[in-house]
């Protein structure tokens, strides 16, 4: 549930570093092209592919940023508290916090869809060119699946205990 939103939040902080690293790789590839014996067309193609990847990273970062800034303050605070390293204290019970979190994730998912970031685009558009996005998406999906299975087994144990 909300795998796209969770993936977007988890990779958002890393996208700037990835873009900077790609920029360095692009510069290095351009400098090395002067001393490389490969045909110029192949060298240019490699550099263009790297530039395309960097642009995709920046595009994804901007889409996620616009979706985050469209949220109200409470939704943003709840998401940062859960997925970021927020120092804010949210004074409420765990149950209320998770209700607010689910509501914030639902609104964030809608905002992401409005920006064109969907489950399919993460896997197909970005995941095809940017391996780390598809890997992170799979990790989040697996975590979500394990959490659901654990919740179901816990609920089953509680039902059994209540019957006894």
CA 149 to CA 134: how far, in whole Å?
A: 23
* Domains: count for the chain: 1
- 3-state SS string for the chain: CCHHHHHHHHHHHHHHHHHHHHHHHHHHHHHHCCCCCCCHHHHHHHHHHHHHHHHHHHHHHHHHHHHHHCCCHHHHHHHHHHHCCCCCCCCCCHHHHHHHHHHHHHHHHHHHHHCCCCHHHHHHHHHHHCHHHHHHHHHHHHHHHHHHHHHHHHHHHHHHHHHC
* Average pLDDT over the chain, rounded to an integer: 78
> pLDDT per residue over 21-48, tens digit each?
888 888 888 887 777 777 778 888 888 8
CA 61 to CA 19: how far, in whole Å?
A: 9
> pLDDT per residue over 59-95, tens digit each?
989 999 999 889 988 888 888 877 776 556 677 777 8
Whole-number pLDDT of residue 89: 67
> pLDDT per residue over 124-137, tens digit each?
777 777 776 766 76
11-15, 81-85, 107-111: which has the minimum mean pLDDT? Answer: 81-85
- Whether residue 56 is predicted with pLDDT greater than 60 in this model: the reply is yes
CA 94 to CA 125: how far, in whole Å?
A: 37
Q: Tell me the mean pLDDT in the region 101-108.
A: 89
CA 3 to CA 81: how far, in whole Å?
A: 18
- Whether residue 53 is predicted with pLDDT greater than 80 in this model: the reply is yes
Whole-number pLDDT of residue 62: 92
To the nearest whole percent, how much of the chain has pLDDT over 90? 7
Q: Which domain holds residue 40?
A: 3-163
């Amino acid at each position: 549930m909300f795998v796209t939103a969770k993936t977007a939040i988890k990779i958002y902080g890393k996208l700037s570093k990835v873009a900077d690293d790609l920029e360095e790789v692009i510069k290095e590839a351009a400098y090395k092209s002067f001393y490389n014996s490969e045909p110029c067309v192949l060298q240019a193609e490699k550099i263009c592919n790297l530039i395309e990847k960097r642009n995709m990273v920046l595009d994804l970062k901007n889409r996620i940023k616009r979706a985050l800034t469209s949220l109200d303050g409470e939704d943003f605070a709840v998401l940062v508290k859960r997925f970021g390293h927020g120092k804010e204290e949210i004074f409420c019970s765990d149950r209320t916090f998770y209700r607010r979190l689910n509501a914030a994730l639902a609104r964030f998912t809608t905002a992401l869809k409005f920006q064109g970031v969907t489950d399919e685009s993460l896997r197909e558009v970005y995941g095809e060119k940017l391996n780390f996005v598809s890997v992170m998406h799979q990790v989040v999906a697996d975590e979500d699946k394990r959490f659901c299975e654990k919740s179901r087994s816990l609920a089953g144990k509680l039902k059994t205990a209540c019957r006894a």
